Amino acid sequence: MGTATLGTLAAADGAGERGDRGRVHSARADPVPPPRTTEWALRTLRNMSLRQKVGQLFVTVVYGADADAEHPTNRAEYGVASPAEVVRRYLLGGVIHFSWTDSLHAPGQIAELSNGLQRAASGSGAGIPLTIATDQEQGAVTRIGEPATVLPGNMALGAARDPRLANRAARITGRELRAMGFTQDFAPVGDVNVNPENPVIGVRSFASDPGLAAELTRAQVSGYQWSAAARNTISATAKHFPGHGDTSVDSHTDLPVIDHDERQWRRLDAPPFRAAIDEGVDAVMTGHLKFPGLDPSGEPATLSPRILTGLLRQELGFEGVVVTDSLRMEGVHKLHPTEEIPVLALAAGADQLLMPENLPSAIESVIGAVRSGRLSERDVDRSVLRILSMKDRRGSVSNPLVDPEAVERRIGTPHHRRQALRITDDTVTVLRDDAGTLPLGAAVGSVFVTGWGETTTAALAAELEPLRLRTETLHTGDSPDSEVVIDATERAGRHDVTIVLTNGAWRDSGNAQRELLWALGGSGKPVVAVAVRDPYDAACVDDIQVWLATYSYRKVSMESLARVLFGRVSPTGRLPVPVPEPDRPDRERYRFGHGITW
């Protein structure tokens, strides 16, 4: 690790604040390079122009499956045709991939795209490799599906209660992402989901208990990064600081307000982030959240020096990269013009600026702020050093390219798939079995599979085929009408048992899924209901005497569900969140930790 100082990193002159006439004073006050700085980062920074430095601060989307192929959206947003041209023109520090950017088709294609973008970066400016990122949280947020190994996600891991399984899941995901050329995963989610009404976190959280969430967050950071000295691994990113768990508002569309005071924050929200930092997490992502008890100014956390510098840097001691959540989200746009947001985020303590609304304008606004003195180039240097050091520590500098020919041998391997199934077996939770129906035995000769999710019901039915059962499937969707309900009830009467899958039945204002459950409960045949996302569904219909929760509708969860239902494995999952009464959120139907085993 390097210890030399740079001339640009002179001693800082006090804590940050916003002064007269809108002048922004940086809140950061490190007199020397960040402690985790590498010698390569120091050497590289000395030869960089201001524009090259500012380019390193930005991570954004590029469009297309091939680095050198034209895509019309690149032309519309950036004025150039191909992903590689976007990287070269704007000297980008990183890119992030989604399916909607036409970037994620197949592992081999992703690896070729990664290599093409890295070659573009090496041939431009200072020749610094890119951060290539995605949000492969698993479960509900799975950007890359099969043939990659798919896992059930955080709340399912919370039900398993085993940090070794959480670590193993992160290792599988991290290794496969690295084989495709990714260098950073925006995971794990460290938010403590204490509010069932949360529309954006929910099953993305490990638990409502801060201790359990912290234990599993730490385990996943270790799994992604393997060890602090490991090379050719992937950077983990704990999110969404200071904690997105207690809100009923989605920060993609509005600015949530969380009313925790500092004492509550330290007890409820901080533990997972503290654990991630103690484990050496490379990056922490900010949330676009208003926390009046932490910063009475009304600024969202992403733009708050009190939160990013005061709490994250100074109180929690985080020395790594602070990355903003997407700057296209509505939650960060409520109080300021678009062109001000990147400058304010940097002044607050952010290092990486994710997906700005207008990249060319954002870059120029930061350069202009440095040249005018609104931002200090010293602080830009610190951010760049953190970013460069993160790339160096994870092997991106020494090995920026991957072997596309080897991808098929490393993605979705039989070993990884066996591990994924073993992990998922421990997540299925039996919440209710009043009739003693489970496990389903030899007397069951036919099964009717119905409810939410066309691919999910089909996946479950496919898992029953090896059992030589007569199986019928009817996908009813999330809002079945009366004709579909009648049809499903008639079919249920022709089978020995019905398995009905639900997703969001507890919050369905039209009661459509509940109408289906009520009707099936009156069919005269046994009914097994399974909440394949929020476990809160299990309290919404009393007439159903058997309820399970998988926390995930992925294929691997349906495989483990079938194994539990028919007694091939014993259920061991326990609720990582309490399930409240549907009309009395202050009363618990199923307590935290509940789960029937045999």
Give me the active site residues, please.
252, 325
Three-class SS of residue 560? Answer: helix
CA–CA dist 279, 317 (Å, integer): 12
Cis bond leading into 594, ω under 30°? no
Q: List beta partners, residue 553.
A: none
Strands 546-549 and 429-433: antiparallel
Geometric angle at alpha carbon 406, from 405 and 407, rounded to 5°: 95
> Where does residue 138 fall: left (phi above 0), alpha (psi -120 to 50 degrees), or beta otherwise?
left
CA–CA dist 390, 403 (Å, integer): 22
> Is residue 373 exposed (0-12), middle (13-18) or buried (19+ Cβ within 10 Å)?
exposed
Strands 579-581 and 584-590: antiparallel
CA dihedral sign, ordered 349, 352, 358, 359: positive
- H/E element, 241: strand 237-241
Residues in CB range of 415: below 8 A, 6 or more apart: none
CB 273 within 8 A of CB 316: yes
CB 332 within 8 A of CB 288: yes
Number of Cβ within 10 Å of residue 441's Cβ equals 9
CA–CA dist 12, 203 (Å, integer): 42
Of 331, 340, 253, the C-alpha closest to 287 is 331
